[in-house]
Copies of this chain bind each other. A is one copy, B any other.
Amino acid sequence: MRQSQLFVKTSREFPKDEASKSAQFLLRAGFIDKLAAGIYTYLPLGLRVLEKIERIIDNEMKSIGAQRILMPSLIPKVNWQTTGRWNKFDALYKLKGKNKLEYALGATHEEVVVPLVKKHVSSWRDLPLAVFQIQNKFRNEFRAKSGILRTREFLMKDLYSFHRSEEELDKFYQKVQKAYNKIFKKVGILSKTYLTLAPGGTFSKYSHEYQTITSAGEDLVYFCPKCKVALNKELVVNGAKPKCWRCKRKLSEQYKSIEVANIFKLKEKYTKPFDFRFTDKDGKKKLVLMGCYGIGLGRLMGAVIEIWHDDFGIIWPKSIAPFEMHLIRIGESKGVKEKSEEIYRSLQKAGHEVIYDDRIQITPGEKFMDCDLIGIPLRIVVSEKTLKKNSVEIKKRNQKKLNFVKINHLLRYLENN
């Protein structure tokens, strides 16, 4: 796309009310806009990243056999009363419609998915099964902070699985862990992300979270470098020395971290109140066992930036960068303009995702600063200087080295680099 057409402008000002690096860069680079505390609009560049994250997650969920659906946000009071969460779940936004109908906005969807799946499952033959959605969640947070890391409204992937036995649930639980690791690897945070034992909260005694180590985090964890797992500080009794819950060895010192995902073995917790049973092979009616597995898409995006940035801006991993390459035109001469347009067309024709800085009345310095701020993986510069060598200048966002590449070799170079 042409940067001159992009309606969003970058900003040199640092937002005063945002502490996290990810929020600062996202706001300054024009990926998001803040409507109110904890409430953001995704602008064109931000939405492109979000869509790429969505596609990665969607693929991994489908590859473990989960079926995608889309549940509503308006959830009737009676559903929440069935599980007792109308009063117990503190973060619900409640509202009243005409006809005195009462709802809470979906903060999580057990209250919808359990009665839904119950309608279609009666026999052991119908199980196991898993459904997921990628949908907006609402949480009535007292304080919203850290930009898109903790918001009142956010896009979440929530997966729910239904099983006949604990062994079956355990097996699927392992499968989801593998899928999650693939997702974290693809978006570039696997090496900093630990499967973490944590309190269960409203769900169960223990739960597992995925915590990404970064100073922007609000959680505290100790990790085991050997087992690649971590322990949430909330589970450490005062004064006790934290031990690895796998190998029982001493853990690392304390680190700040962000919870990018969580997985719970809910077992009978929500199938019992809805009396969701199946007829087993032995003819007996048994409660269905359940697991739930969440990933916050905006939070994942924020975590990626907390890890992948420098002083000048974001350094997007290629997999979720809004564009593959940033073509920058320096100079307004006819030769530079024509050649830039030609290169832009040929890159697009070859199937590359290019953002093309064709803006006029912007200094080269500003263009380079915007380019670093936005953080596209590859920068391609066309100027009088490069054209003298029939070349473009290529630089990776995460490297200092400049390469001059002949224009007629450019497509081949990009294929191999």
- Which A residues have a C-beta under 8 Å from some C-beta of B? 5-9, 30, 33, 35-37, 39-44, 47, 50, 65, 67-76, 79, 93-95, 97-99, 101, 105, 112, 116-117, 119-121, 126, 129, 131, 136, 138, 140-142, 152-153
Contact = CB atoms under 8 A, between A and B. Distances in A.
B153 A98 contact: no
Contacts of A76: 35-36, 39
Given A7-B117, A74-B138, 15 more contacts: A6-B67, A7-B120, A7-B121, A7-B129, A8-B120, A33-B116, A35-B72, A37-B101, A42-B69, A43-B69, A47-B68, A73-B138, A93-B97, A95-B95, A105-B105
B41 A152 contact: no
A74 B72 CA distance: 15
A79 B39 CA distance: 13
Contacts of A30: 120
A254 to B, nearest CB: 29
B7 A131 contact: yes
Contacts of A65: 5
Most B CB contacts (10 A, CB to CB) among A43, A75, A94 go to: A43
A90 to B, nearest CB: 9
Given A116-B41, A136-B136, A142 B99 contact: yes
A390 to B, nearest CB: 33
Nearest to A130: B7
A69 B131 CA distance: 27
Q: Is the interface of A mostly helix, strand, loop or mixed?
A: mixed
Contacts of A97: 93, 140, 152
Contacts of A39: 72, 74, 76
A74 B8 contact: no
Contacts of A141: 98
Contact of A44 (B68, B95, B126, B138): B68
Contact of A74 (B36, B68, B74, B121): B36
A103 to B, nearest CB: 8
B68 A153 contact: no
Nearest to A7: B129
Nearest to A47: B70
B41 A112 contact: yes
A138 to B, nearest CB: 7
